[in-house]
Amino acid sequence: MIYNEEFETLPRPALEALQLKRLKSTIKRVYNQVPFYREGLDKAGIIPEDINSLSDLQKLPFTHKQDMRDSYPYGLFAVPMEEIVRIHASSGTTGKPTVVGYTRKDIEVWSELMARSFVAAGAHKGDIIHNAYGYGLFTGGLGAHYGAERLGASVIPMSGGNTKKQILIMKDFGSTVLTCTPSYSLYLAEAALEEGVDFKSLRLRVGIFGAEPWSESMRKEIESKLNICAIDIYGLSEIMGPGVAIECHEAKNGLHIWEDHFLPEIIDPETGNLVPEGEKGELVITTITKEGIPLVRYRTRDITSITYDPCVCGRTHARIARMSGRSDDMLIIRGVNIFPSQIESVLMKIEKVEPHYLLIVDRKDNLDTLEVQVEVDEQLFSDEVKHLQALAQAIEKEIKDMLGVTCKVRLVEPKTILRSEGKAKRVIDKRGEH
Ligand code: DLL
């Protein structure tokens, strides 16, 4: 099933014609309404009339997260405040939050794109959507909420936290779709076990997970623990919130990015040049329908690749690969570049290892060190010490062989690593503390 057949299956020439029309009007609008863009275009010697093809987009300067911070809070808004009906913000780890504003039409578009996303994930009217993304300034909760209502499903506005109650509600209310971060879904699975609730006895069928990186092996783990089909959803508050891209349940192979509203580019983060189709690089997005805060060539810092190959589901919109991580989350350990998700992939393939881990990076005697803390099976933990040692060594070797980085593995007891109700914190980097 497809939510908006007409737009989701537009043949590429028609889709591109629509994109160009919308791009031109966006560039005109930001040039006239937002001093930041006017200055940027003037500096680059470009006027809106110079944009006559989609590839002309590459003439335009990038927009960075810092530009949003510099214009905190409302400097990049393209409409008067009277037209803004909602404000969200992303906390980020450093500095001021980035603030975004939505007009009534922006909220409508967002709701539709989330409704499309739900259907792509295999949800439909009649579903009971248990929404455990946080409500508040974070876009996850309200984004999924409005989309679920637009779809005509019954939404349970749980928000994050209150984990025991979530299980009770899921069981008693007959939730069929779960929306939350992938790490929280595993916390829920664990809590259910403690409450004596078997996920197999629940009506839950689909999980729509995003807001943080997760690996293919984590998907398998979640699917078997929760007895559901797990779908990857991507988004970021600067661009809209959840629902910028989502996997279709038919293929589960790449996330369709809603190209009638967003123009994706994949660039080499160093040079800023486009990389060939299929190659990894940084995702850059231009919004082409947003009113409140349109963004031109926004550097997401997220690393992925793109394919325009047709998909079995019939949607014509390009697919981006599961995010390997953010370029700013990439760890450089003694010169080796690794993403936490790569370590996750290795860990999840090892038996008796639980999907809860923490990476601790430090520097000793001028050398970077990496400690991987990971929980293991309760039974294994009560086993002889030598078994634990052997397993730790086997994991160290596997990480060295697969990723080329030497680490120290510390196996820890079940439930010692802090559980997250939202975005999991997987890395503690102590190098800056010395
Ligand atoms: O996390 C929006 C969202 C809510 C997406 C619910 C999906 C589900 P922010 O808090 O602004 O917005 O964080 C955006 O989270 O740039 C990525 O680095 C990361 N991210 C989001 N989805 C995924 C995903 C929301 N599926 C930042 N895989 C983005 C990997 C993801 N990373």
DSSP 3-state of 177: strand
**Ligand 1 centroid to residue 236 C-alpha, Å:** 5
How confident is the model at residue 327, as a pLDDT? 86
By alpha-carbon position, which residue is closest to atom 16 of ligand 1? 236
Residue 18, burial from CB neighbour count under 10 angstroms (0-12, 13-18, 19+): middle
| Rounded Cα gap, residues 27 and 83, in angstroms | 20
By alpha-carbon position, which residue is closest to atom 29 of ligand 1? 236
Answer whether residue 103 shows pLDDT above 90: yes
When pLDDT is cut at 50, 70 and 90, the band that residue 95 belongs to is confident
Answer whether residue 114 shows pLDDT above 80: yes
**Ligand 1 centroid to residue 213 C-alpha, Å:** 8
Answer whether residue 92 shows pLDDT above 70: no
Give pLDDT tens digits for 296-341.
Answer: 999 999 999 999 999 999 999 999 999 988 888 899 999 999 999 9
User: Looking at ligand 1, which atom is closest to the CA of residue 208?
Assistant: 8
**Ligand 1 centroid to residue 304 C-alpha, Å:** 13
Answer whether residue 434 shows pLDDT above 90: no
Q: Please state which of the four CATH numbers 3.40.50.12780, 2.30.30.230, 1.10.3720.10, 3.20.20.70 is assigned to the domain occupying 70-328.
A: 3.40.50.12780
Q: Which of 219-223, 384-388, 392-396 has the lowest mean pLDDT?
A: 384-388
User: Looking at ligand 1, which atom is closest to the CA of residue 144?
Assistant: 6
Give pLDDT tens digits for 356-384.
Answer: 999 999 999 889 999 999 999 888 888 78
CATH topology of domain 336-433: GMP Synthetase; Chain A, domain 3 (3.30.300)
What residue ranges do the domains of the chain occupy? 70-328, 336-433
Give pLDDT tens digits for 167-191.
Answer: 999 999 999 999 999 999 999 999 9
Q: Are 26 and 286 in contact (CB under 8 A)?
A: yes
DSSP 3-state of 408: strand
Q: Of 327, 350, 338, 336, which Cα lies nearest the Cα of 398?
A: 350
Mean local confidence (pLDDT), 214-236: 97
Pairing of strands 206-210, 229-236: parallel
| pTM of the predicted protein model | 0.96
Task: Report the mean per-residue pLDDT for the chain.
Answer: 96
The proportion of the chain whose per-residue pLDDT surpasses 90, expressed as a percent, equals 92
Sign of CA dihedral 198, 199, 204, 209: positive
Residue 207, both tokens: 């999980």
| Rounded Cα gap, residues 330 and 158, in angstroms | 33
DSSP 3-state of 404: coil
The verdict on the CB of residue 210 being under 6 Å from ligand 1 is yes
Q: What angle do CA 163, 165, 168 make, to 5 degrees?
A: 120
How confident is the model at residue 384, as a pLDDT? 82
When pLDDT is cut at 50, 70 and 90, the band that residue 93 belongs to is low
From 64, 102, 209, 212, the mutation candidate for ligand 1 (largest count of ligand atoms within 8 A of CB) is: 212
The verdict on the CB of residue 254 being under 6 Å from ligand 1 is no
373-408: buried (b, 16+ CB within 10 Å) or exposed (e) per residue? bbbbeeebeeeeeeeeeebbeebbeebeeebebbbe
The verdict on the CB of residue 293 being under 6 Å from ligand 1 is no
When pLDDT is cut at 50, 70 and 90, the band that residue 94 belongs to is low
Mean local confidence (pLDDT), 416-423: 94
Please determine whether the domains at 70-328 and 336-433 fall in the same fold group of CATH: no
Give pLDDT tens digits for 236-279.
Answer: 999 999 999 999 999 999 999 999 999 999 999 999 999 999 99
